[in-house]
């Protein structure tokens, strides 16, 4: 992913716009790309969120699962989180909020205008996570206008 972003001249503008407040959501591999570090690999990233992730932490493809995941910022109803060769968060910097965890590891995080999820909310009928991101984007826009 990083190679493609670099090849097509998208990495630098994406970093610049994100640092200026553009909301970004990295899902699964996108969270890995957005992370500061990837555990045990010298893999380049965009360094958009102060986390260290570990790839394929919940197992190989055969270990994929849908888990009822409590995410308090979305309300009391658990979210049907679909994990497919998902990463987990091994380290979160001081400005990072862990919004949901599974097996003792962060799987949904936020740092300012950047969120990351280990799971695939686009594979469910539940739109609460998408609504959360839209609200984040709206609040960023309102803050810039003020």
- Residues marked active site are found at 28, 120, 122
Among the listed residues 39, 48, 118, 126, the one whose alpha carbon sits nearest the alpha carbon of residue 84: 118
Q: With contact defined as beta carbons under 8 Å apart, do 114 and 18 qualify?
A: yes
Judged on CB neighbours under 10 Å (0-12, 13-18, 19+), 77 is exposed
Under 8 Å between Cβ of 106 and 100? yes
Q: How far is 1 from 28, CA to CA, in rounded Å?
A: 12
């Amino acid at each position: 992913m990083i190679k493609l972003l670099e090849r097509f001249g998208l990495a630098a503008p994406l970093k610049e716009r994100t640092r200026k407040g553009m909301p970004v959501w990295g899902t699964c591999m996108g969270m890995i790309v957005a992370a500061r570090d990837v555990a045990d690999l010298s893999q380049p990233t965009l360094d958009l969120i102060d986390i260290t992730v570990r790839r394929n932490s919940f197992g190989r493809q055969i270990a994929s699962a849908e888990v009822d995941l409590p995410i308090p910022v979305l309300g009391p109803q658990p979210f049907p989180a679909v994990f497919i060769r998902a990463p987990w968060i091994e380290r979160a910097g001081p400005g990072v909020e862990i919004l949901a965890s599974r097996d003792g590891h962060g799987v949904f995080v936020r740092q300012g205008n950047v969120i990351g999820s280990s799971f695939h909310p686009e594979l469910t009928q539940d739109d609460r996570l998408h609504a959360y991101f839209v609200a984040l984007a709206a609040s960023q826009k309102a803050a810039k206008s003020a």
